[in-house]
Chain A
Amino acid sequence: MLGLKSKKDTSPQKTITEISELKVTVISSVVSIIVGLLFGLVFLFIIEVIKETPDMTNPFYGFSNLMVEGFSSIRSIIKVLYKAAPLLMVGLAVGFAFKAGLFNIGATGQYTVGAFFALIAAILWQFPWWAALIVAMIAGGLWGLVPGIFKAVFNINEVITTIMLNWTALFFVNLLFYNNPGIYESRERTMNLAVANPSAILPDLGVSDSYFNIGIFIAILFAVVIFIVLERTTFGFEIKACGNNKNASVYAGIKAKRTIVYTMLISGALAGVGGGIQYLSGTVPYTVTSTTLLPMGFNGIPVALLAFSNPLGIIITSLFISYLQVGGEAMQPVYSPEMVNIITSVIIYFSAFALIVSQLIKKYMKKRLGGDEATEETDVVLDVASEEVNKISTPKTPEEGGEK
């Protein structure tokens, strides 16, 4: 809520310092991140200790690289931004749905469909980048719309439908891939955009670094727009009302079903744009896989959670997680890529976990300050989410098909 403090002081003396909602949120997030990092360090020691020939300099080497790499050079910073862009989009997708009380675990499916349609538009239809992004948005949106409709019309839990649609998305994309020989270079990966359609690559504004493109700016723009939609518009008001109390929204004349459908449509569209931004960067081809879902969509969950679904907060948390991922790469060769994956997952996981703990603390403080006993619902969401984070934190090779 807006931190409006009433000017009128009704109490004669004020002994309780008012802790604004925002402050608590920021503190919780920061503390969680620190706790997550500490766990990461402890974890590095543990792996070292159980080695046959422990070398106690390794954890320090690894950890400092992990921490420093993201800032170490312009190129690393560019890479952090590059990786953050799609993360930001999927984080927004998950966070936006959270606001309406919906748990969109299907961001990865929407992301995948968005990614592939962006490539179809770019390679087969020779669209310029912006048009390809719009195609990605539409495709992702439609993929989100389906669970939205199921939820609104048949009251089928969106968690189930979105999970199922994740796999449907993957196989649907594979089907399209094999049926459109024009799109692939080999029977594994799509054509290099630089060859197939250079105008579909996101503009780099003259920066020569191959990782640099306007993706991050597009994503930030979306975050700001989503923030404005949620906090300033009647539509956002309706979304939050539905998320907080669906019965009361219906009573107030809000079309809750329609709101749910729109929310899922938009959520899917955001994830779809994320897929578009990633694959229109021209740095990665889409690589066919039929055994694993792309982890990007799932990473949106901790991104959204760490930011309490606040769109502006999501900008920061996506940068943080991307920074970890970039830092993780610098831990090689001492640590194998799989190891790095585990370590970054540990940090992300424990951050999310610490967040739940800090939520509990916040609840306790609220109680002392006279808050309420009923934040249980959000806790349930967090619990589910933490389980999900748990599941996906187990490393998944191949990571987005590897970069060129």
Chain B
Amino acid sequence: MGDYIIEMNHIRKEFPGVVANDDITLQLKKGEIHALLGENGAGKSTLMSVLFGLYRPEKGEIRKDGEVVNIQNPNDANDLGIGMVHQHFKLVEVFTVLENIILGAEPTKYGFLTTKETREKVLELSKKFNLMVDVDAKIEDISVGMQQRVEILKMLYRENEILIFDEPTAVLTPQEIDELMKIMKNLIKEGKSILFISHKLNEIMEVSDRVTVLRKGKYIGTVDVDKTSIDQLSEMMVGRKIDSIKKNPAKKTDEVILEVNNLIVPSKLHKNNAVNNVSFQTRAGEILCVAGIEGNGQSELVYGITGLEKISSGSIILNGKDITKMSIRDRNLTGMSHIPEDRHKYGLVLDFNLGQNLALKKYFQEGFQHNGFIDFGKIKEHSEILIDLYDIRSGKRSATIARSMSGGNQQKAIIAREIDCGAKLLVAVQPTRGLDVGAIENIHKTLIKQRDQGKAVLLVSLELDEVMDISDRILVMYNGKIVAELDPKKTTPQEIGLYMVGAKVQDRFKTVGGEA
């Protein structure tokens, strides 16, 4: 027993309408990376929040080095050497990196901040663990990857021994993920112990020593990574085998759904244009994927097309209608749905309930309202159907406040709403971010089904696997421009990678204003 640094025994945590953790046991050995795996809503974040003192369990005990401890709040957790990186970072945007790191543990002498020594300590830590940060930069100006390194430094600065990472890789680019994996291995070498939540089985296989699997709030088992396989893990997790995506070839049509001509979208970060003279077409019955490394204009391209950001020039034609100057509502009604990149910023009104969120794009339509009066019965009815159809799990079904839902289920809700609109064009940005393998499979199937029904899907993804698996045509964006058009059947991830980093440009895109 003695070699466990943390033991969580028989933990039970309830929320109104759900038992998020039901008799869960988790044992963390000193010096291991222990992965926590489970479907969306399985109770992973809840369990970690219990350990970090954010929630108090109804039952169960927590032991540190064999002794029962009472963790009332995050400060207690911190005193026990437990630190946590939340999926949505908790940093003060307008503060510098250094200020954020010392926040809450400010070193003072006679009531004055003693930043000089701290600074050295932080610099030393960042060197030791190879966590490159610019200590004087403001959080709002640095990349998500760097923000995460700040969060890690924060834990190290507090000399935490047990580090919790809640879905750290969901928001990172593939390159940043590699980096993080290295950092985690480094931390172990320095004697830390890590709890790691991820939906990506290959990551788990790569870095962790043992895996604990949860399903629907219950403990399923703990296995050694050496003695298991991806298939076995996914079966433990969803209780059935995951089939690989079967895709029949696209039915070729000539019906152009979306036509983008010479689109220019200014950048908010720098003087150059984020999207620089991009033209392409999407046809009915195809999944067109825009690939690229984050920050090469894909987000702005989508914002331009969907109307969330002003474009400086160019034209957008949807279903034969010029929508360049149309309002967002009119674009939607002309036949566009949009699964946005940032689900908390755009996708949901977090304090509305699930039913209202599912009706966010329909509430004004006849049937959902009569003479300006909303028919809440109809909204509920409509949402109950979608909840079952898309397996959105929540405590109180349509009455659940969106904020209290698990991250993956929030995402499912958005997808359900957007596909339910039945638009000819579906713009999907990172639709599977933060979803478990079972849900990803479902979403992929759904996207393919949309395609087979003659819709056009414009998929923006940073995930090369996803791009290769489900797209019918790939456009690669680099530095605001399209640099290649590829056929997934005839290309390799390596080749896409070369275009993504700008090492190669197809001849036809070398001249300004190439046509795709």
Contacts and interface: CB of A to CB of B under 8 A. Distances in A.
Contact of B374 (A1, A12, A233, A371): A233
B360 A250 contact: no
Contacts of A374: 350, 403
Interface stretch (A89-97, A110-118, A241-249, A298-306): A241-249
Contacts of B46: 370
Interface string B1-44: 00000000000011111111000000000000000000000000
A253 to B, nearest CB: 3
Given A232-B373, A234-B374, A371-B404, A245 B397 contact: no
B399 interface: yes
A12 B19 contact: yes
Interface stretch (B52-60, B202-210, B270-278, B492-500): B52-60
B338 A251 contact: yes
Interface string B351-390: 1110010001101100001001110100010000000000
A15 B58 contact: yes
A10 B17 contact: yes
Given A248-B345, A372-B404, A8 B350 contact: no
A237 B346 contact: no
Given A232-B374, A241-B352, A10 B328 contact: no
B398 to A, nearest CB: 8
A195 interface: no
Contacts of A368: 55-56
Contacts of A8: 397
A2 B363 CA distance: 17
A24 to B, nearest CB: 13
Interface in A1-19: 1-2, 4-6, 8-12, 14-16, 18
A248 B399 contact: no
A9 B397 CA distance: 10
A255 interface: yes
A140 B289 CA distance: 53
B340 A251 contact: yes
Contacts of A1: 351-353, 399, 401
Contacts of A234: 363-364, 369, 372-374
B308 A250 contact: yes
A14 B18 CA distance: 9
A391 interface: no
Given A368-B55, A371-B404, A235 B372 contact: yes
B17 A248 contact: no
Contacts of A187: none
B122 interface: no
Contacts of A237: 356, 363, 374
A233 B329 CA distance: 18
Interface in A356-392: 367-374
Contacts of B479: none
A366 to B, nearest CB: 9
B327 interface: yes
A252 B308 CA distance: 10
* Residue of A6, A8, A254, A369 contacting most chain B CB atoms (<10 Å): A6
Interface in A206-259: 232-235, 237, 240-241, 244-245, 247-255
Contacts of A255: 327, 329
Question: Would you call the interface of chain B mostly helix, strand, loop, or mixed?
Answer: mixed
Contact of A15 (B14, B348, B372): B14
A241 B15 contact: no
**A-side interface size class:** 35 or more
Interface in A312-349: none
Contacts of A367: 54-55
Of A8, A15, A248, A367, most B-chain CB atoms within 10 Å? A248
B395 interface: yes
Interface string B181-197: 00000000000000000
B347 interface: yes
B349 interface: yes
A349 B16 CA distance: 35
B332 interface: yes
Interface in B398-413: 398-399, 401, 403-404
B55 A370 contact: yes
Contacts of A235: 372
A369 B338 contact: no
B349 A245 contact: yes
A235 to B, nearest CB: 7
A14 B14 CA distance: 8
A5 B17 CA distance: 9
A6 B397 contact: yes
B464 to A, nearest CB: 27
A240 B357 CA distance: 12
A6 B17 contact: yes
Given A11-B14, A16-B16, A250-B328, A4 B399 contact: yes
Contacts of B19: 11-12
A247 B345 contact: yes
Nearest to B379: A237
B20 A252 contact: no
A45 B332 CA distance: 65
Interface of B: 13-20, 46, 54-56, 58, 306, 308, 327-332, 338, 340, 345-353, 356, 360-361, 363-364, 369, 372-374, 376, 380, 395-399, 401, 403-404
10 tightest A-B CB contacts, nearest first: A253-B329, A370-B15, A4-B399, A251-B346, A252-B360, A253-B328, A6-B396, A245-B349, A244-B351, A372-B403
Given A241-B360, A245-B351, A252-B328, 10 more contacts: A1-B401, A6-B398, A15-B14, A240-B352, A241-B349, A245-B348, A248-B349, A252-B361, A370-B15, A371-B404
22 contacts: A1-B353, A1-B399, A2-B399, A6-B17, A233-B369, A234-B363, A234-B364, A234-B373, A237-B356, A241-B349, A241-B352, A245-B348, A245-B351, A247-B346, A248-B345, A254-B329, A368-B56, A369-B15, A370-B13, A370-B46, A372-B403, A372-B404
Interface of A: 1-2, 4-6, 8-12, 14-16, 18, 232-235, 237, 240-241, 244-245, 247-255, 367-374
